[in-house]
């Protein structure tokens, strides 16, 4: 067993989870048994959070109470706002600012002395983190724009409130609903790299702030959550090249470039979340500028069919269409991955809570490939 090296832990079963399940051949995703399509169509992000954390959908009263509790926790300490202002002035990247913000929230945690095994307290801390992330992120963006932060709006849901805090204006229903759906779609996804990172940290019984900070860090990479920003940058590059999009893609793939937003460790077909986001992108394009939607679908069709990627099981993932959706919602492109984190924080917290209920330290093995029996020579004789 120990000799059986599985690079990237590909296909290795390391945990049991009741949160979400992916059928990579059928292109199906469920959260606690509910299809992602039904949740995206009928639920709110708050409902999905409740579902992930409590195991079942809330009643109307439970949802009201849960949403109110989240809304009450939205405020962030002035020190965090100051830090966001300084980081914006230092031209920090939003994902790095978010990493700092989450880490900093812990300094103002009212239950910081709670026993790490008190999972009810961990859930309350997770709720605080999830509620505060949008506020810190929006404040960072406001400072970058030379504006003061906007206080959270107690009457708005998490998605609409984030858009409100970004602009100071209440979003229209279509924008608020589309963004809420995007948050639902990104909330959880089995043992992806950032969730696994959070779980590894949680398995040491470190606090939930550490686990979520680790999750943000892992999500930031271009092979994972960072790809949504990269997709939009590719779309800009195509647009600015003045080339036909297909000629651009042909050239890029001939040069061996990977197209971000394509390929997945688990899906061999199109990611069901990409299908839903594609529909949203299309609807938004019909209202305004259809350029980005058109380029994206053209590339998808070309890569999938003419370049034969579909046959090889390489298909659009969730990041392929989220960029053009966020662009049409007026969100700055380097906020796309932080928005992913804003939603996925719910999944990280849910998985850590679930794992810690029956915790076992995660500690795999590596095969040593270095030298053995070296003769030590003191530094002044080397």
Ligand X SMILES: O=C([O-])CC(=O)C(=O)O
Ligand Y SMILES: CC(=O)SCCNC(=O)CCNC(=O)[C@H](O)C(C)(C)COP(=O)(O)OP(=O)(O)OC[C@H]1O[C@@H](n2cnc3c(N)ncnc32)[C@H](O)[C@@H]1OP(=O)(O)O
- DSSP class of residue 333 equals G
Of the two residues 55 and 313, which places its CB atom closer to ligand Y in the complex? 313
Question: Nearest approach, Cβ of 190 to ligand X (angstroms)?
Answer: 6
Q: Segment near ligand Y (CB under 6 A), from 124-132, 148-156, 252-260, 369-377? A: 252-260
36 counts as binding ligand Y under rule CB under 6 A: no
Of the two residues 238 and 315, which places its CB atom closer to ligand X in the complex? 315
Give CA separation, 136 vs 87, 98, 105, 372, in Å: 12, 7, 10, 50
* CA dihedral for 66, 67, 70, 75, sign (positive or negative): negative
**94 interacts with, out of ligand Y, ligand X, none, CB within 5 to 8 A per kind:** none
376 CB contacts (<8 Å, ≥6 apart)?
A: none
156 counts as binding ligand Y under rule CB under 6 A: no
Q: How many Cα atoms are found within 13 Å in the side-chain-facing hemisphere of 67?
A: 22
Widest Cα–Cα separation across the chain: 75
Strands in 28-31's sheet, in edge-to-edge order, are: 20-23, 28-31, 34-35
Question: Nearest approach, Cβ of 97 to ligand Y (angstroms)?
Answer: 20
DSSP calls for 162-217: HHHHHHSSPPPHHHHHHHHHHHHHHS-BTB-HHHHHHHHHHHTT--HHHHHHHHHH
Question: Nearest approach, Cβ of 225 to ligand Y (angstroms)?
Answer: 5
Polymer length of the chain: 382
Cα 215 from Cα 199, distance rounded (Å): 9
- Specify the 3-state DSSP secondary structure of 23: strand
Write down the catalytic residue from 175, 188, 319, 351. Answer: 319
**66 interacts with, out of ligand X, ligand Y, none, CB within 5 to 8 A per kind:** none
Residues numbered 293-332 forming contacts with ligand Y, rule: CB under 6 A: 314, 317-319
275 counts as binding ligand Y under rule CB under 6 A: no
Cα 338 from Cα 98, distance rounded (Å): 7
Of the two residues 126 and 190, which places its CB atom closer to ligand X in the complex? 190
* CB-CB contact of 277 with 185 (8 Å): yes
259 counts as binding ligand Y under rule CB under 6 A: yes
Closest-by-Cβ residue to ligand Y is: 263
Of the two residues 100 and 317, which places its CB atom closer to ligand Y in the complex? 317
Of the two residues 36 and 80, which places its CB atom closer to ligand X in the complex? 36
224 counts as binding ligand Y under rule CB under 6 A: yes
**Residue corresponding to tokens 């605080």:** 128
Residues lying near ligand X in the complex (CB under 6 A) = 189-190, 192, 264-266, 317-318
225 counts as binding ligand Y under rule CB under 6 A: yes
Question: Nearest approach, Cβ of 263 to ligand X (angstroms)?
Answer: 10
**266 interacts with, out of ligand X, ligand Y, none, CB within 5 to 8 A per kind:** ligand X
Question: Nearest approach, Cβ of 240 to ligand X (angstroms)?
Answer: 28
381 CB contacts (<8 Å, ≥6 apart)?
A: none
Q: Does 264 qualify as catalytic in the annotation?
A: yes
* CB-CB contact of 110 with 125 (8 Å): no
Question: Nearest approach, Cβ of 367 to ligand X (angstroms)?
Answer: 24
Write down the catalytic residue from 186, 224, 264, 351. Answer: 264
From 214, 261, 323, 350, residue interacting with ligand Y (rule: CB under 6 A):
261
Of the two residues 176 and 295, which places its CB atom closer to ligand Y in the complex? 295
277 counts as binding ligand Y under rule CB under 6 A: no
Question: Nearest approach, Cβ of 268 to ligand X (angstroms)?
Answer: 13
Q: Segment near ligand Y (CB under 6 A), from 92-100, 134-142, 257-265, 281-289? A: 257-265
Of the two residues 134 and 263, which places its CB atom closer to ligand Y in the complex? 263
29 counts as binding ligand Y under rule CB under 6 A: no
Phi, psi for residue 29 in degrees, rounded to 5 = -130, 130
Helical ranges in the chain per DSSP H: 36-42, 45-54, 60-72, 78-89, 94-105, 119-144, 158-167, 173-186, 193-203, 208-219, 227-241, 245-254, 272-287, 291-301, 318-328, 336-357
Rounded to the nearest angstrom, the gap between the alpha carbon of residue 101 and the centroid of all alpha carbons in its chain is 16
Binding site for ligand Y (CB under 6 A): 223-225, 227, 258-265, 314, 317-319
Catalytic residues: 264, 319
């Amino acid at each position: 067993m120990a000799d059986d090296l599985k690079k990237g832990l590909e296909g290795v079963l390391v945990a049991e989870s009741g949160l979400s399940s992916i059928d990579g051949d059928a292109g199906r995703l469920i959260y606690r048994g509910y299809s992602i399509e039904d949740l995206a169509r009928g639920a709110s992000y708050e409902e999905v959070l409740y579902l992930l954390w409590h195991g079942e959908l809330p009643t109307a009263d439970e949802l009201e109470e849960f949403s109110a509790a989240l809304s009450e926790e939205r405020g962030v300490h002035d020190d965090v706002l100051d830090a966001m202002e300084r980081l914006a002035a230092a031209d920090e990247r939003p994902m790095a600012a978010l990493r700092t913000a989450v880490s900093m929230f812990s300094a103002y945690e009212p239950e910081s002395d709670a026993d790490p095994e008190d999972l009810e307290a961990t859930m309350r801390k997770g709720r605080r983190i999830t509620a505060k992330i949008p506020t810190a992120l929006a404040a960072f963006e406001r400072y970058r724009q030379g504006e003061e932060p906007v206080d959270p709006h107690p009457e708005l849901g998490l998605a609409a409130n984030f858009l409100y805090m970004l602009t100071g204006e209440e979003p229209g229903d279509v924008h608020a609903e589309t963004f809420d759906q995007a948050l639902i779609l990104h909330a959880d996804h089995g043992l992806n790299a950032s969730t696994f990172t959070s779980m590894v940290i949680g398995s040491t019984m470190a606090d939930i702030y550490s686990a979520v900070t680790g999750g943000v860090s892992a999500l930031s990479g271009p092979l994972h959550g960072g790809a949504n920003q990269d997709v939009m940058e590719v779309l800009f590059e195509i647009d600015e090249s003045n080339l036909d999009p297909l000629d651009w893609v042909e050239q890029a793939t001939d040069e061996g470039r990977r197209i971000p937003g394509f390929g997945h460790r688990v899906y061999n077909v199109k990611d069901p979340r990409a299908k839903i986001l594609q529909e949203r992108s299309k609807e938004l394009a019909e209202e305004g500028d259809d350029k980005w939607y058109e380029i994206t679908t053209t590339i998808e069709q070309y890569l999938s069919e003419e370049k034969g990627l579909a046959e090889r099981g390489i298909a659009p993932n969730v990041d392929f269409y989220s960029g053009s959706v966020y662009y049409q919602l007026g969100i700055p492109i380097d906020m796309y991955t932080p928005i992913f984190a804003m939603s996925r924080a719910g999944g990280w917290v849910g998985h850590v809570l679930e794992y810690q209920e029956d915790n076992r330290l995660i500690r795999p093995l590596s095969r040593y490939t270095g030298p053995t029996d070296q003769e030590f020579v003191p530094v002044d004789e080397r």
